[in-house]
Amino acid sequence: MMRSTLGTALAALATIGMTLASCTSPAEDGRVSGPGEYEGYSPVLYDGWELSSLYVPVRDGTRLAVDIIRPTMNGEVVQDPLPVVWMHTPYNRRARGEESAAITYPSGPIELVEHGYVVAVADFRGLYASFGQNRLFNFGNFLEPAWTDAYDITEWLAEQPWSNGNIGMWGCSATGGSQHQAMVTQPPSLKAIMALSPAYDTYDFVNFGGIPSIAPYDPVTSAERDVAASPVDGPDGEALLEQAKAEHIDDPASIRSGELPYRDSVSEALGDWWGRSSMYTYHDEVEASGVAVYSGGNWDEAGTKIAPGLMFANMPEGRGKLIYGPAEHCRWNVVEEETGLSITTEQLRFFDYWLKGIDNGVMDEPAVTYYTYNAPEGREWQQANNWPLANEQRTTYFLSDGSLSMSAPAGGQVVTQTGAAPVVTSVTIEPPEGGLVFETEPLEQDMQVTGYPVVNLWIEAETADVDATAQLLDVAPDGSTRTYEMVGRLRASHRQQGEAPYNNLGLPFHTHREADIRPLVPGTPAELEFAMLPMSYNFPAGHRVRLVISFANPGGADGDIAVLTGGERASSISLPVIPVD
Q: Write the pLDDT tens digit of every residue in 451-490.
A: 999 999 999 999 999 999 999 999 999 999 999 999 999 9
Tell me, yes or no, whether 419 and 331 share the same domain. Answer: no
Q: Please check whether residues 178 and 229 belong to one and the same domain.
A: yes
Residue 385 falls within a domain, yes or no? no
Residues with Cβ within 8 Å of residue 568, at least 6 apart in sequence: none
Dist. CA 348–CA 96, nearest whole Å: 25
- Domain finish residue from 336, 371, 406: 371
Distance CA(528)–CA(494), nearest Å, equals: 9
Q: What is the CATH number of the domain that holds 178?
A: 3.40.50.1820
194, 337: one domain = yes
- Domain membership flag for residue 506: yes
Say whether both 441 and 347 belong to one domain: no
- Whether 335 and 450 share a structural domain: no
The pLDDT tens digits for 410-463 are 889 999 999 888 888 878 899 988 899 999 999 999 999 999 999 999 999 999
User: Looking at the structure, do residues 309 and 240 belong to the same domain, yes or no?
Assistant: yes
Same domain, 348 and 219: yes
**pLDDT tens readout for residues 364-415:** 999 999 999 999 888 899 999 999 999 999 999 999 999 999 998 988 999 9
Is 277 among the domain residues? yes
Q: pTM for the complete prediction?
A: 0.94
Assign residue 399 the CATH number of its domain: 2.60.120.260
DSSP letters spanning 290-312: --EEEEEEETT-SGGGHHHHHHH
Q: What does the pLDDT look like over 38-79, one tens digit per residue?
A: 999 999 999 999 999 999 999 999 999 999 999 999 999 999
Q: Kindly state whether residues 572 and 474 are assigned to the same domain.
A: yes
Residue 355 lies in a domain: yes
* Residue 86 belongs to a domain: yes
Do 428 and 355 fall into the same domain?
no
Cβ partners under 8 Å of residue 562, min gap 6: 413, 414, 415, 459, 460, 461
Cis peptide before 145 (omega within 30 of 0): yes
Domain final residue pick, 311, 338, 371: 371
- pLDDT tens sequence across 526-541: 999 999 999 999 999 9
Are residues 491 and 342 part of one domain?
A: no
Number of domains the chain contains: 2
Other CB atoms within a 10 A radius of the CB of residue 14 amount to 13
Beta bridge partners of 481: 475
pLDDT at res. 96: 64
- On whether both 348 and 408 belong to a single domain, the answer is no
* 376 located within any domain: no
Distance CA 481, CA 537 (A): 13
Considering the domain architecture, whether residues 350 and 454 belong to the same structural domain is answered as: no
Residue 280 in any domain: the answer is yes
Residue 408 lies in a domain: yes
Range of the domain at 403: 393-578
Give tens-digit pLDDT for 91-127: 999 976 678 999 998 888 999 999 999 999 999 999 9
